[in-house]
A and B are shown apart, each in its own frame.
Chain A
């Protein structure tokens, strides 16, 4: 009963928030609704018994990725509304709907066969974090290390790409900086 209430609440709220993310003209609204939707998605994970995944979603997505987005937003002009010209909105809705149907068929096709059996079954009486840790550090050790290396490379790439000419302001014009410099010289 509680699961049903929570599921419908989370799904309606998530879909609504993500619709705001996709449709909104304001970057700030889009970003805050995306963050809220990600928090609610971690609620889905907690319902499904994937506790560790829910915690990782909260820490990595809401904590790290959204913080990164909000820092990057400070480089761009976030208060201005975004003007986008859409040439053919009906075609977009048609293509999106068709792709959704194809997606449902793709997901549903293998599930309705009986050939699926658990490769790494969950254990009774063992916590989810412990179970995940055992599988992650035995069967998935090499992909885990490769993912760590990939994150290191991405971190270096992010620092190098964003760090060039960090002392210059992007949104204000350069004359404002010159004024500050001349004021300093006068003193």
Chain B
């Protein structure tokens, strides 16, 4: 039988995949993909806890996380487009302009 810990382990695995992506990616668009993976992992954990404790609070938090992710993507992609217009690249190593 599938218990709460199964879902939490899957969620932690997906979260660590996303975290690994955040650590190793140098391209800003790919970095955004990795953050989306992390947000989805947390949503799974919230929905699972909400189901196994018969409590709706977890689902509420998942809704607000989806809303925050949507606005993050809207603003972030706008900033990415401005950056690409200015520098012609999305690589973080090339964008480090405060190297002194």
Interface positions of A (Cβ within 8 A of B): 3-4, 7, 11, 14-15, 18-19, 21-22, 27, 30-31, 34, 37-38, 41, 44-45, 48-50, 52-53, 56-57, 60-61, 64-65, 68-69, 72-73, 75-76, 82, 84-86, 89, 92-93, 95-97, 99-100, 103-104, 107-108, 111, 116, 118-122, 131-132, 135-136, 140, 143, 147, 150-151, 153-155, 157-162, 164-165, 170
Residues of the B chain whose Cβ atoms lie less than 8 Å from the Cβ of A143? 64
Q: Which residues of chain B have C-beta atoms less than 8 A from A56's C-beta? A: 63, 66
Determine whether the beta carbon of A147 is less than 8 Å from that of B64. yes
Instruction: Tell me the complex Cα distance, A160–B6, Å.
Output: 44
CA distance A136 to B98 in the complex (A): 45
Q: Shortest CB–CB separation between residue A97 and chain B, in angstroms?
A: 7
Q: List the A side residues contacting B9 at CB < 8 Å.
A: 104
Decide if B90 touches A99 in the complex (CB within 8 Å): no
Secondary structure type dominating chain A contacts: helix
Interface centre among B1, B5, B13, B59, by most A CB within 10 Å?
B59
Contact residue among A72, A100, A159 (Cβ-Cβ distance under 8 Å from B12): A100
A22 and B13 alpha carbons, distance in the complex (Å): 13
Chain B interface bracket (under 10, 10 to 19, 20 to 34, 35 or more): 35 or more
Q: What 0/1 readout, one digit per residue, does chain B (1-43) give for beta carbons within 8 Å of chain A?
A: 1101111111111111111110111110110111011001001
Contact residues of B: prevailing secondary structure: helix
**Cα distance A34–B38 when bound, in Å?**
11
Which chain B residues numbered 69 to 93 have a C-beta less than 8 Å away from chain A? 69-75, 77-82, 84-85, 90-91, 93
Pair A37/B66 contact, Cβ less than 8 Å? no
0/1 interface trace, chain B 45-76, chain A, CB 8 Å (1 if under) = 10111110111110110111011111111110
- Contact between B85 and A170 (Cβ–Cβ < 8 Å)? yes
CB distance from A22 to the nearest CB of B (A): 4
Evaluate contact between B19 and A50: CB separation under 8 angstroms. no
